[in-house]
Amino acid sequence: MTSDAAITIRDAHKTFKGGVQALRGVSMTVNRGQIFGLLGPNGAGKSTLVKILMTVIHPTLIDGDLLGKPVGHRATLRRVGYLPEHHRFPVYLTAEQLLHYYGGLEGMRRPERRARIGELLDLTGMSAWARKKVGGFSKGMQQRVGLAQALLHDPELILLDEPTDGVDPVGRREIRQLLLHLQSQGRTILVNSHILAELEPICQQVAILVKGKLAREGTVAELTADRQRWEVEIDGPEPTWIDTLKGVDCRTEGTHHCLSIGGDAAPMVQQMIDLARGEGRTVRRVERIGESLEDLFIRSLEESGEADAATPGAASAGKAGK
């Protein structure tokens, strides 16, 4: 029986030598088939968490599962693809040799690798550079090859740490489309990124880490619901009926007035429109405004009382230094 969760983490702690606390009791769940965004400022512990899942870093304490097996179960890594942040490939290898190398590490046989490499170089738009040395590639090209190596062994779960780092806008859009394509194949994707606007349209679920703690977790809609509001812009003097409507704010913008009400208040909006029209006013704009992921992110930092959370460096229990 397979669980619905691709990743389950309960109470993950990591304290580095020197007392730097990178993770302070993080718990979260990534459901299968989702694109999950892991957000947080520099030093929040995002990469540390991903590295723990990939056994690159040993946790101080963790209780969790990866594809139904305990975190650290090495054979399970064959079902996981990973693209680390700031990765450095052996510069003397060609793209093709590089993929053969990493495919070999995954235990893939040569004929299998050969077929898959051609397919992935096509998918990432790198076919023309298959026989060129990686050392001569731009950052964006290296990122594409990096994605190819993460997908080489046909993984069920893909962990991507800043996948669009150094990629131009066209490339970023292609990567977003690729992620959606991979999701449509039933794969689970965890994306760790600073570029919130990129994650917003593709992530079903996000988690925000701040100084090693989980500040928020949920769907973008859930997390931004309490900050949604309606705005109705009308002509003419300030309406006299405004005081009769509970929770409506009014601000003057030149010759117009902007009426604003928070939450899911569609009936109230209808009432405002009716009242305005009844007075012969022109309704210029009716808009439902949601909180952006970036707003949510900034709000999470402020609410967690971590005014300096956006500065580099993880939380420190004592003397800092990894």
| Site residues (vs another protein, CB under 8 A) | 16, 51, 54-58, 74-78, 80, 82, 84-90, 92-93, 97, 100-109, 149
Q: How far is the CB of 155 from another protein (least distance, A)?
A: 11
Q: Kindly tell me which of 51 and 229 has the beta carbon lying closer to another protein.
A: 51
Question: Is 320:24 a contact under the CB 8 Å cutoff?
Answer: no
Distance CA 136, CA 218 (A): 41
Rg (CA), the chain: 24
Q: How far is the CB of 292 from another protein (least distance, A)?
A: 31
Q: How far is the CB of 175 from another protein (least distance, A)?
A: 19
Q: Which single residue is written with the structure tokens 């299968």?
A: 32
Q: How far is the CB of 97 from another protein (least distance, A)?
A: 6
Q: Kindly tell me which of 114 and 281 has the beta carbon lying closer to another protein.
A: 114
Q: How far is the CB of 78 from another protein (least distance, A)?
A: 4
Query: Which 3 state secondary structure label does DSSP give 64?
Result: strand
Q: How far is the CB of 300 from another protein (least distance, A)?
A: 27
Closest by alpha carbon to 219, among 32, 34, 47? 34
E strand or H helix at 293: helix 293-303
Question: Is 181:268 a contact under the CB 8 Å cutoff?
Answer: no
Distance CA 178, CA 260 (A): 39
Q: Kindly tell me which of 80 and 301 has the beta carbon lying closer to another protein.
A: 80
Q: Kindly tell me which of 86 and 173 has the beta carbon lying closer to another protein.
A: 86
Q: Kindly tell me which of 32 and 87 has the beta carbon lying closer to another protein.
A: 87
What is the β-pairing status of strands 315-316 and 283-289? unpaired
Q: How far is the CB of 102 from another protein (least distance, A)?
A: 7
Closest by alpha carbon to 50, among 79, 21, 81, 76? 81
Contacts of 109 (CB under 8 A, 6+ apart): none
Q: Kindly tell me which of 42 and 282 has the beta carbon lying closer to another protein.
A: 42
- Give the burial class of 179: count Cβ atoms within 10 A of its Cβ; 0-12 exposed, 13-18 middle, 19 or more buried: buried
What is the β-pairing status of strands 256-262 and 229-235? antiparallel
Q: Kindly tell me which of 92 and 241 has the beta carbon lying closer to another protein.
A: 92
